[in-house]
Amino acid sequence: MFANWHGFAEGPIWIKPRWPEDLARGLFSFRPHGASLAPYTGLNVGLHVGDDPQRVAFNRQTCGIELGGSLEDWIVGEQVHGTNVAVVGLEDRGRGSDDLHRPVSDVDALVTDTPGLTLVVLTADCIPVLFFDPVKRVIATAHSGWKGTVGHIVRNVVETMHQQFGCRAEDIDVWMGPSIRQCCYEVSETVAGIVIDQFGWQHVVKRPNKPGKYLLNLHSCVRSDLLAAGVLNDRVHDTGVCTACHTDVLFSHRAEQGRTGRLLGAVRLV
Ligand SMILES: [Zn+2]
């Protein structure tokens, strides 16, 4: 499960989608070796969690060096646990890249075909999802917590890529980054019921000795939604790492009672 980590001990840890580096560069960040102090200790890239903006800027720079391009190429969505997808271009360059530039409002997913732009998703338990179509040269990101997932945000992304840029679903490669997994993701009966309505029984299990509590497999829901949209099963990649199980190297909103940093999911179209 952890064989795909890079850079342990000597520097930051990354998981990178296996994409040709001359076409697209993707990245999922981890926690070690950043500038932030407790409770954000490490490589926090979230500006809106109460951390020192200068430390966040330093951490973002560390990630930016790994991705290539500059921080002014970044575009960040507001992320409101909704299902809206924004098609972005050069006019949006730099939005959300620092504390002076507002993120793209009211969106949880970004799509572009503009080379040189870096699309960013920030998470601490929700699934960061990266998309790349090497045929049409289109990239996308999505922030998929349970609300976005049951609202079919990843299907919205695939449909937007098709409608706006003519992408075929079977050409799209998708990566799910570090996020809370079924081992730790307890939800109420109400949430479990909504998931069952949308995706069926196979994605939740009753928690033993805890009446009314369920464990949710968000990753299998997202995969199911992607397959329904026409993405091929062997092109949906799951990094398989649970944030809540590994707060030493990852940020987890649940496991750290909401006081923690954010991980970076990003893709840059070269
Ligand atoms: Zn876990």
Task: For residue 216, tell me if it sits in a domain.
Answer: no
Task: For residue 3, tell me if it sits in a domain.
Answer: no
Task: Give the chain's radius of gyration (CA, Å).
Answer: 17
pLDDT tens, residue by residue, 31-46: 999 999 999 999 999 9
pLDDT at site 5: 56
Comparing C-alpha atoms, which of 219, 200, 100 is closest to residue 149?
219
Q: How many angstroms is it from 183 CA to the middle of ligand 1?
A: 4
Lateral strand order in the sheet of 109-112: 85-87, 109-112, 138-144, 127-133, 173-176, 236-238
Comparing C-alpha atoms, which of 197, 199, 204, 191 is closest to residue 224?
199
Domain count, the chain: 1
Task: For residue 20, tell me if it sits in a domain.
Answer: yes
Q: How many angstroms is it from 244 CA to the middle of ligand 1?
A: 5
pLDDT at site 1: 41
Task: For residue 243, tell me if it sits in a domain.
Answer: yes
pLDDT tens, residue by residue, 181-223: 999 999 999 999 999 999 999 999 999 899 999 999 999 999 9
Q: Report the CATH number that the domain containing residue 164 is assigned in CATH.
A: 3.60.140.10
Which structural domain range is residue 140 located in?
Answer: 14-180+234-269
Q: How many angstroms is it from 240 CA to the middle of ligand 1?
A: 10
Task: For residue 19, tell me if it sits in a domain.
Answer: yes
Q: How many angstroms is it from 81 CA to the middle of ligand 1?
A: 21
pLDDT at site 10: 72
Q: How many angstroms is it from 206 CA to the middle of ligand 1?
A: 16
pLDDT at site 23: 97
Task: For residue 1, tell me if it sits in a domain.
Answer: no
Mean pLDDT value of segment 123-131: 98
CA–CA gap between residue 135 and residue 110 (Å, rounded): 18
Q: How many angstroms is it from 243 CA to the middle of ligand 1?
A: 7
Task: For residue 193, tell me if it sits in a domain.
Answer: no
pLDDT tens, residue by residue, 223-262: 999 999 999 999 999 999 999 999 999 999 999 999 999 9
pLDDT tens, residue by residue, 13-32: 999 999 999 999 999 999 99
Q: How many angstroms is it from 89 CA to the middle of ligand 1?
A: 37
Task: For residue 203, tell me if it sits in a domain.
Answer: no
